[in-house]
Structure 1
Amino acid sequence: MGDPVDGRAGAPGAVSRRRLLGTAGAAGAGGLALGAVGGAVARAVTTEEAPTALSSVGSTAVAFHGGHQPGITTPLQAHGHLIAFDLARGAGRKEAAALMRRWSALAAELMEGRPAEAGNHRDTGVALDAGPSSLTLTFGFGRSFFDRTGLAARRPAGLDPLPPFSADRLDPRRSNGDLWVQIGADDGLVAFHALRAVQRAAGNTASVRWQMNGFNRSPGATARPMTTRNLMGQVDGTNNPAPSEPDFDRRIFVPASSPDSADSWLAGGSYAVVRRIRMLLDDWDGLGLTEQERVIGRRKADGAPLTGGSETTQLDLERLDRDGKPVIPANAHARISAPEQNGGAAMLRRPFSYHDGIDTDGTPDAGLLFICWQADPLRGFVPVQRKLDRGDALSPFLRHEASGLFAVPGGARQGEYVGQRLLES
């Protein structure tokens, strides 16, 4: 179906959005960002009739269907929205299944760069002349979802509540939820378009519990590809598990289990821990550069360990300075959070920064929408956070203000919707 720029089918001079997506040949191979795991493969969208070329950023698309949901191993996008829903009173398993069917159809359309026409809603036209821009939509279920749908017997143990931590100042109104959606894209209007489409498609089945908006660097903003920085100015994401590592899938994705087990529906899925972490930036910025680097245990300029090398150089936790003290302090964030200091516990961190204005006292309401992925939160997030809780030098500059834990099903195959193996079991 045509999607004319001026919104009127057959308008003189109208150029359809589909025609504007023919960009791979013009963008060249540099426009491809290839994920390494099923469901996270990015590709350039092509047609034979495109007279106009999008940039490589606009043309890149991520596959919706696959063994894993998109938005987990997909490279970080520049714009993000996190949104949680609660099912409406009286809505149960049947209504939840219908909603997931609508959302899945919608996600497949949007991620291809097509108008949001799944269901009975007309497309808003917000992203009319844009390409897919690496858009991803990822869906998860909270602990309460299983009670609301009569599926408590199939709730996985990994959704047991997270323990409390000393830095927690959690607002229950902005925490948890029955359903969770992560949206990411490299264009702000494309991301907002998806957000509106998801919210509208929820209809009377579910209402918004909370929403958070985030951002990262735009692709091409740096002279060379590099790990992103957070609002403290620190390189953030060093030593993330990589899909090329032999134990990556074991650490990040839930393994297959016997077909009759309660959580067999989660095979190929993952668990997302979501934390809104406020950074006390005025306090942090009051530290000198040397103090900041000792808190983190890495150089601010390039993310390299204080013991030398480059960002990817392994921490030398045994090296002492001339006074016999560890070069990387005993309470440095990099030391305490290192996998070798936590029994190999690992999680895939995939955050967005956020800035929600200035408080009445003049301090910025800004920080990190921390999202981490793991096969088991009790072996990923929890042990690391417990150790950080006991003496991380960075903790005085952080405040955890919201929290959520969600079971994220495996990817939908062609003809399936996300969560179908649970909801139709």
Structure 2
Amino acid sequence: MNGKSESNSNVGSIATGGNGESSGHGGLSRRRLLGGVGATGAAGLVLGAAGGATGYAATRPDAPTALTAVGSTQVMFHGKHQPGITTPLQACGHLVAFDLAPGTGRKEAAALMRRWSEVARRLMAGEPADGGAADGTAHDTGISLDAGPSSLTITFGFGRTFFDRTGLVDHRPQGLDPLPPFSNDRIDPKQSDGDLWVQIGADDALVAFHALRAVQKEAAGSTRLRWQMNGFNRAPGATARPMTVRNLMGQIDGTGNPKPADDDFDQRVFVPATGTDARYDWLAGGSYAVVRRIRMLLDDWEKLSVERQERVIGRRKTDGSPLSGGSETTPMDLDKAGPDGRLLIPDNAHSRISSPQKNSGAAMLRRPFSYHDGIAADGTPDTGMLFICWQADPLRGFVPVQRKLDRGDALSPFIRHESSGLFAVPGGAADGEYVGQRLLDS
């Protein structure tokens, strides 16, 4: 889907299956996927029921003694990287952007980030947002009173204009330079960009909404809502075994995502310490998120035969295997031809054009949600993907791949990019710190 590299894609770069690992959330391997990242990547560590997430539900006198594996799974807030980047895909998500209110500057922004960080830490641990009792005396809304952490993650990012409003322009990294326009863009500026961006994900819809409500309440007075989008993925345990997710076109998507075990994973996804320019030290261990609302023109797509759909993507619809043969994880053979001499993976197939082989190795970690925002008066569905990709440098990740896709991707007639944002996501907060402290306290 425009803007993704096949190294991060399956369904033609259009959607992702988490970390390139299967997104069947119920399996033990999924909940402990990030153990291979090592202690230095502890922000992504996920704990199952044996890991100690007693949760909000356990604070109630009438609560059951044990939560299910889905409810008890906890992602750690503190660590080298923020949560929600390498965390396996969750079933429910909210993306929301805010602009700082007039007269709000660096001091107020720091106070907001401090409040947001504390709320995120509490909710991700399965505790009430305000830290009070859960028996009705607290000010917490109680929306997720019966649930545990449910893999909740809350991730924060700064847009380009944040640095103007806080007087920190000298600390704005080059990676936040505006994205170039693309021919398939139909961008609504009111649904794009923003000073602050928050990504929320959870395996329970009420837990995710609870976090969204808490974030919005803490932002009241110092910000104005710019836009909000809601998404979903396959629910944990919906398949007989852990599997890569499908997008709303029905394609398996996410097979080729970079994996934490890859030798070059960190250099592709996370910003290194500069060692030379202290102005950007706040971003070390962080990442850049490109966010695009990509509408899928499903009525047109579903008129194609399955064989034609497969040639558009370059992969089998049944199992995600490349048209050149093999299984889902078999590398594509871009030179393999059939008996008639034609390339098995067409020269304009989405997976071919977005592959690292065709983009000088450019890759990104794609971690999207699907969305459905109703049906228009003419009967067409407003549905598609909330595309989110993570990279150490968008000028070497998203931009070159999207430019290549812009010049002849067979998928382009079936999708439309309707909103766009680019955000610098600080590194994780150490114990006792808030997210962005190294920038706002500099």
Letter in 1 for 2:44: A
Give, in whole Å, the separation in 1 of the partners of 2:284 and 2:28: 33
Single out whichever of 270-279 and 257-266 deviates more from structure 2. Answer: 257-266
Q: Are 1:189 and 2:183 an aligned pair? A: no
TM-score of the two chains, using structure 1 as the length reference: 0.91
TM-score of the two chains, using structure 2 as the length reference: 0.88
* Mapped contact 2:93–2:199 kept (Cα < 8 A): yes
Give, in whole Å, the separation in 2 of the partners of 1:404 and 1:57: 31
* Mapped contact 1:241–1:248 kept (Cα < 8 A): yes
* Mapped contact 1:409–1:418 kept (Cα < 8 A): yes
Distance 1:397 1:31, change over 3 A: closer
Which secondary structure does the structure 1 equivalent of 2:212 belong to? Answer: helix
Letter in 1 for 2:413: P
Matches within 5 A, 1:252-291: 252-258=269-275, 260-291=277-308
* Mapped contact 1:71–1:137 kept (Cα < 8 A): yes
Q: Are 1:40 and 2:44 an aligned pair? A: yes
Corresponding residue number in structure 2 for 1:66: 79
Corresponding residue number in structure 1 for 2:250: 233
Corresponding residue number in structure 2 for 1:246: 263
Gaps of 5+ in 1: 1-26
Corresponding residue number in structure 1 for 2:441: 424
Q: CA deviation at 1:33?
A: 3.4
Corresponding residue number in structure 1 for 2:149: 132
1:232-273 superposed Cα distances (whole Å, 9 cap, x missing partner): 000111210000001100010000112743211100000000
Distance 1:159 1:29, change over 3 A: closer
Q: Are 1:94 and 2:107 an aligned pair? A: yes
* Mapped contact 2:53–2:73 kept (Cα < 8 A): no
Letter in 1 for 2:85: I
Corresponding residue number in structure 2 for 1:163: 180
Corresponding residue number in structure 1 for 2:9: none
Matches within 5 A, 1:249-398: 249-258=266-275, 260-398=277-415
Distance 1:123 1:164, change over 3 A: same
Corresponding residue number in structure 2 for 1:224: 241
Distance 1:157 1:118, change over 3 A: farther
Letter in 2 for 1:135: L
Gaps of 5+ in 2: 1-25, 133-137
Give, in whole Å, the separation in 2 of the partners of 1:340 and 1:238: 16
Alignment length, in residue pairs?
398
Q: CA deviation at 1:118?
A: 6.0
Corresponding residue number in structure 1 for 2:160: 143
* Mapped contact 1:105–1:118 kept (Cα < 8 A): no
Give, in whole Å, the separation in 1 of the partners of 2:335 and 2:230: 40
Distance 1:46 1:354, change over 3 A: closer
Say which one has the larger Rg.
Answer: 1
Distance 1:118 1:390, change over 3 A: farther
